[in-house]
Structure 1
C-alpha cells in the first residue's frame, strides 16, 4: 500500500548523504496513526531479584541475567510456596494465565489508546489482536469485544504465532482496512503474556529466554480520510507510507516456539547467531523500503527498532550506522521492560511521542524482527 513513486535510488546506497532536500511525498489519504496506549502487569522485578526468586546459582546463567542491559521487567509469576520457592506451573495453568493476563492488559491498553485521542469504545469498527505467547479459541478479538462491550458487528482478526515481528505485519493489515474504510477507526492491540510461556528447567536454552522477555500489551489506533485529517490540525501524527518484509529461510529454525517433550510444555528457542543474522540483512531491508519512496537513510529523523535484546540492538545499530541517540527509545524500553515481543516497538513509539521532539514533515522508520527468520519495516511521515 505504498505510494506510487519511481525507484530513483539504488538499493545498494541507502546511506549516502543527500545534497538536496528529500522528496516531499504526497501522503494525502494514507492511513494515520492516531494514538497509542500501553499496559503491563502490576508486579515488576529487577534482574537481580529474579536470580534470587528462581534460585539461579550457575555463574554463566547469572551472568546472562546481569549483563542483559535489562534493569527490570513486568512479570506474572507463581506465588511463593511455604518454603519460599515458586512452584512450576502446568501447561493448563500457563494457558489460563495467558488468557487472564492477556484480556486484562489488552483491555487497559485499548482504553488508554482511545483516551489519548479522545475516542470512545463505541467508535471502534475494526479490531486486530496479536499474540505469540499462548493459544486460544475463540481468540483475544472475541474475548476483548465481550470484555469491552464493543459492538457485536466489529470487524476483527487474530494474528497468532508470528512472534516479535507480528506487530508490524498486523499494522499493515490494520492500515489496509482503515484505508478502505475512510473515517472509521481501526485498532490493533499486541498482547504478550510472556511469563505464560516460561519453562524453568535450568538449561541454558530456557535461561536465555527467561532472562529476556517481559509481559506487556500495546494498542495503536489507525484512521484514514477527512476525519483523521481534523486531528492532524491539533498535533502532527504520522501517516503510514509503506511496508517491506524480508524473510530469511536459511534461518527458519533460529527463532521458534515449539513443544519441548522433555518438559511437557511449549518453550522458546533463540539461536545465539540471531543478532548476526538480523544485522546482516538489516541494511538491505531498510534500503529497499527507502528506495521505494525515493529516500535515503539520512532523510530519516526517527528510528523505532524492536527491543529484541542487547546484541540484536547492537547488530542493527552497527549495520545501519545508527547512534545510541537514534536507538535511545529502543534501548530504554529494553532496560525498563525487557523484550515485550510484538508490542515492543509501540512502547518505543509511545516514548517518542511523550518526548515531544517530533516535527511535522519528518520521516520515521519502524523495524521489527522475529521468527522466520524475518525483518519487517515501515515508513511513516509526520
Structure 2
C-alpha cells in the first residue's frame, strides 16, 4: 500500500532553509576538453568523434576538490578514498553551516541528520566524521544513505519530511554531497568515461526540515518509480582502481518516453493535480536530458532555464544538483506548487511536491 509523505491530518513538514557549497578549484569546460584531448586522443581512436560532447553538454565550468593536475596521475582506491573523504567532509560542513544559519538553527538543535552520497565509501559515515566540527549532540540520530546517485537530493529530502513528521517538533538536517571527480579515470578508454569527464563536477547542498516551524515551503508528498530491467542504464562499476561510470543505454530517449507518465502516476498517488504545478524543478543530468524532460513534461522549450544555468555553472554534481536548482527558483520566487524530480540509478525517478508557505 502506498503511504504519502504528507496527509491532510497531522503536522506538516516544512523546508526552513536551503544552502549550497562548491569546492575551490574551478575547471572551465575549454580546459577540460584540452586535458581530455591530451590524455585520451592518442590512446582512444574514437576520441575525435566523442570530443564534441564537451561543446554540446551545456557546461561552461565545474568545481573540483583537487586541481586538475591531481587527476592526471594514476590513482588507486586508497588515494581516491582519501581525496573523497577530505573533500566531502569539507563540503558537508560548508553546506550544513550555511543551511543552519539561514534557518536560525544551531547544530545542537538538530535531532536527525540524513547524509546522502554515492561517490565514495565512508565507514564511519560522513556525518560521524564531521560530528565534532559541526557541534552535533551526542544523541543525534544519523541516517546515511548510499546508492541513490542523482536521485539522492529529491529522495533525501523526502526522507527528511517523513522523519520530521514522525517526531513533530524535531529538526532534521539533510546534506547531499558528491565528489564525482573521484570517478575520473585515465585507464578507462570507453565512451561512458569520456562523457563522464565532460559532465561531472563536485558539490554539496543542505536543507533544514521541521514540523510546525516557519519555512518557505511545505512538503506535500513524495514518491518513486523504479523501472524493471534497467540496471544497466546508470550506475557505478567497481574495480581495483576505483569507481567507473556506467552509461550503457541512451538516457535522453528513455527519459523522453517514460518519465512524464511516471511523474503523472506519482502525482496521482499523492493527490496532486498536474495542472496545479507551477514549476517543475528537475535534476539537469545534461543538456540533452533537460530537453528530454521539457518534452516529456509537455513544457515550453526553455522552461527549465534554471536547470540549464546550474548545469552551465557547475556541471552535473549528482545528488545535490537539483537542490542548486531549487535554490535559484526560490530566489526568483516559488510558485504556489513546485515539483522536484530527479532520475537515478535503478533506473528510478524520484518526485517530491512542495507547497509555498503562506
- TM-score (structure 1 length as normaliser): 0.85
1:47-83: CA deviations, max 9, x gaps?
A: 11112234254322321111111110001345648xx
The verdict on how the C-alpha distance between 1:144 and 1:159 changes in structure 2, with shifts beyond 3 A counting, is: same
Give the match for residue 136 of structure 2.
Answer: 150
* Per-residue deviation, 1:2: 4.2
Aligned-residue CA RMSD in angstroms?
A: 1.9
How far apart in 2 are the matches of 1:371 and 1:79?
A: 27
Check whether the contact 2:33–2:198 (CA below 8 A) recurs between aligned residues.
no
Give the match for residue 44 of structure 2.
Answer: none
Does the residue aligned with 2:94 lie in a helix, a strand or coil? helix
| Displacement over 4 Å in runs of 4+ | none
Give the match for residue 246 of structure 2.
Answer: 269
Give the match for residue 365 of structure 1.
Answer: 339
| Unpaired stretches in structure 1, ≥5 consecutive residues | 5-25
Check whether the contact 2:291–2:301 (CA below 8 A) recurs between aligned residues.
no
* Per-residue deviation, 1:27: 8.0
The verdict on how the C-alpha distance between 1:347 and 1:90 changes in structure 2, with shifts beyond 3 A counting, is: same
The verdict on how the C-alpha distance between 1:79 and 1:323 changes in structure 2, with shifts beyond 3 A counting, is: closer
* Per-residue deviation, 1:136: 1.1
- TM-score (structure 2 length as normaliser): 0.91
How far apart in 2 are the matches of 1:271 and 1:258?
A: 11
Give the match for residue 379 of structure 1.
Answer: 353
How far apart in 2 are the matches of 1:203 and 1:282?
A: 27
Mapped pair 1:60 → 2:60:
no
How far apart in 2 are the matches of 1:177 and 1:34?
A: 15
Mapped pair 1:106 → 2:85:
no
How far apart in 1 are the matches of 2:48 and 2:98?
A: 41
Give the match for residue 209 of structure 1.
Answer: 196
How far apart in 2 are the matches of 1:154 and 1:196?
A: 29
Check whether the contact 1:243–1:379 (CA below 8 A) recurs between aligned residues.
yes
How far apart in 1 are the matches of 2:267 and 2:69?
A: 51
Check whether the contact 1:290–1:296 (CA below 8 A) recurs between aligned residues.
yes
- Give the 5 Å matches for 1:101-250: 101-201=87-187, 202-225=189-212, 228=213, 231-232=214-215, 237-250=216-229
Give the match for residue 19 of structure 1.
Answer: none
| Greater mean deviation of Cα atoms: 180-189 or 131-140 | 180-189
* Per-residue deviation, 1:162: 1.7
The verdict on how the C-alpha distance between 1:322 and 1:178 changes in structure 2, with shifts beyond 3 A counting, is: same
| Greater mean deviation of Cα atoms: 67-76 or 323-332 | 323-332
- Give the 5 Å matches for 1:242-321: 242-260=221-239, 264-321=241-298
Aligned residue pairs total 345
| Unpaired stretches in structure 2, ≥5 consecutive residues | 42-46
* Per-residue deviation, 1:272: 4.0
How far apart in 1 are the matches of 2:9 and 2:208?
A: 18
